[in-house]
Amino acid sequence: MIIIGLGNPGQEYEGTRHNAGREAVQKFAKKADLGDFEFDKKTNALVLSGKVGGKGSKGGKVTLVLPETFMNKSGSALTKYAKGAKKVKGPDGKPKKALADVIVVHDDLDIPLGKAKVSWDKSAGGHKGVDSVIRALGTQAFYRIRIGITPATAKGALKKPDHDTITDNFIVAEFKDKEADELKKVIKKVVDCLEMSVTDSPERAMGEYNAQFNK
């Protein structure tokens, strides 16, 4: 299993909305006690490999990848991992050339803060980091965990800023204290979802956690 956490490198971007995916993968590495990320010069990414859960032959092998490029060039770190696309039947029942052992974790403006969603074979939806990954992998048939970063009203309507604000300020701004608490709660669920994806299967995790993410 290969898990990719999208975000921008550098301390100045830690805790920002655009780094929700990167933060989730880092938290997963910590919970799974996989050790420390190491910089891989060939891929220009922080990489960590190990086994999650179980003893002996049980458990699942995983490689975590945090691109050290800026978000819109995330795909350049993934050429090494783009090999091995196979014709498989995805959770939608449709056979196609896919990377069924790849999960990309990223922020999503179209999902309310505090919620998340596991998706399969979806377009980038305007997310430049995901678009870069799709172009690098040569397919959009892989799993994604989309973490909501947009505040919403009590009735669930997104309070989405205009395009210029999104580009210049919103996605690279830090969460407010109350928002950070909401993010912390959903990231905990994302970490558990990743654990099930590795030790069981992403398809089962999608079925189990898409309901939990929206409670």
Both tokens of 34, joined, read 């996989």
What pLDDT was estimated at residue 83? 74
Query: CA 206, CA 15: separation in Å to the nearest integer?
Result: 26
The total number of residues shown for the chain amounts to: 215
Q: Return the pLDDT at 214.
A: 81
Q: According to the model, what pLDDT value does residue 81 have?
A: 77
Structure confidence at residue 58 (pLDDT): 61
Query: Does the annotation mark 18 as catalytic?
Result: yes
Predicted pLDDT of residue 22: 97
Contact partners, residue 136, CB within 8 Å, separation at least 6: 74, 75, 76, 78, 79, 82
For position 97, what pLDDT does the model report? 86
State the catalytic residue, choosing from 18, 106, 127, 163.
18
CATH superfamily of 2-212: Peptidyl-tRNA hydrolase (3.40.50.1470)
What are the sequence ranges of the domains in the chain? 2-212
Tell me the one-letter amino acid at 107: D
Provide the pLDDT for residue 80. 81
From the number of C-beta atoms within 10 Å of its C-beta (0-12, 13-18, 19+), residue 19 rates as buried
Q: Which of 9, 4, 68 is nearest to 39 (CA)?
A: 68
In angstroms and rounded to an integer, the radius of gyration of the C-alpha atoms of the chain is 16
Mean pLDDT by 10 residues, the chain (215 residues): 94 92 97 95 94 72 95 89 79 87 95 95 94 93 96 84 72 88 96 96 95 86
Q: How many CB atoms lie within 10 A of CB 1?
A: 19
Q: Which residues pair with 107 in a beta bridge?
A: 147
pLDDT for 74: 94
Of 73, 64, 62, the C-alpha closest to 7 is 73
pLDDT on residue 149:
94
